[in-house]
């Protein structure tokens, strides 16, 4: 999720196309009647619109930039490409279980959406769960995944008190299933080994009225993590882990 100076998207060696999504909201399966919003972090086109994404938006407690470009691997595979591919795979899994899956965007916008709109999409969908998919951009040797939970904040349009508890439950479920399905260890640099980090500075969490978490699936700037993050096979494992955590939270 960290911003980098890179501006040229690269391709992931050996990446396969994301599987086609099944019929949205099929009405059959253990998640029938449930709505899940998947928020693919950043946008592949953001780097072309730095002025627009740097415009501040109100996140309740203060103002923050609309969005960021995201990070990338040392050979140019971008976080935005990664998050879209994994999000497509999550959608296919959840729709097979009967869930209605809504995306905040599908790479079809010139930039964004801004963080306040991303929260608003989940709120308007009356989502049972929202997951924002990311990858981190930390130093070499800093490895593993972590799930970001909303802190209790109140100010302006932000009031997370009603969602702090269920969001934590969602995050715990996802963290447990992600370890199980991917074999990825909890972050060795965030969360003190718990794979959980609570933050009050993210507009997408501050403005949410429904249970929501972010997941940083690994560190794109660590050579060992990045090898996984560029692997289509590992993308599927990551998607399964996230989807399994959502299903566990929703009782599916």
φ and ψ at residue 209, rounded to 5 degrees: -110, 0
Does an H or E element contain 196, and which?
strand 196-199
Does an H or E element contain 100, and which?
strand 100-103
State how far the Cα of 220 lies from the Cα of 190, in Å rounded to an integer.
15
User: Is there a contact between 112 and 45 (Cβ–Cβ < 8 Å)?
Assistant: no
Cα angle 68-169-82, degrees, rounded to a multiple of 5:
30
What sign does the dihedral 162-251-20-125 (CA atoms) show?
Answer: negative
Bridge pairing between strands 212-219 and 129-136:
parallel
State how far the Cα of 164 lies from the Cα of 33, in Å rounded to an integer.
23
Half-sphere exposure of 195 (CA within 13 A, CB side): 21
Does an H or E element contain 136, and which?
strand 129-136
State how far the Cα of 28 lies from the Cα of 46, in Å rounded to an integer.
37
Active-site residue among 79, 81, 117, 216?
Answer: 216
Is 55 catalytic? The answer is: no
Cα angle 89-181-134, degrees, rounded to a multiple of 5:
50
DSSP 3-state of 190: coil
Q: Any idea which residues carry the catalytic annotation?
A: 216
């Amino acid at each position: 999720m960290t911003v980098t100076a890179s501006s040229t998207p690269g391709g992931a060696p050996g990446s396969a196309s994301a599987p086609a999504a099944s019929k949205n909201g099929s009405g059959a399966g253990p998640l029938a009647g449930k709505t899940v919003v998947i928020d693919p972090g950043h946008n592949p086109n953001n780097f072309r619109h730095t002025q627009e994404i740097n415009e501040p938006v109100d996140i309740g407690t203060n103002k923050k930039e609309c969005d960021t470009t995201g990070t990338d691997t040392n050979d140019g595979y971008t976080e935005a490409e990664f998050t879209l591919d994994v999000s497509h795979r999550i959608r296919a899994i959840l729709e097979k279980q009967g869930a209605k899956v809504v995306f905040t965007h599908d790479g079809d916008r010139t930039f964004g959406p801004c963080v306040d709109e991303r929260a608003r999409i989940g709120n308007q969908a009356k989502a049972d769960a929202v997951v924002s998919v990311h990858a981190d951009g930390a130093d070499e040797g800093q490895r593993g995944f972590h799930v970001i939970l909303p802190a209790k904040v109140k100010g302006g349009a932000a009031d997370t008190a009603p969602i702090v508890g269920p969001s934590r439950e969602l995050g715990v479920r996802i963290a447990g299933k992600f370890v199980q399905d991917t074999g990825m260890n909890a972050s060795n640099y965030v969360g003190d080994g718990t794979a959980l980090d609570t933050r009050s500075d993210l507009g997408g969490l501050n403005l949410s009225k429904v249970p929501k978490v972010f997941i940083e699936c690994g560190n794109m700037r660590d050579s060992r993590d990045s090898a996984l993050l560029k692997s289509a096979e590992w993308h599927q494992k990551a998607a399964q882990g996230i989807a399994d955590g959502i299903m566990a939270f929703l009782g599916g």
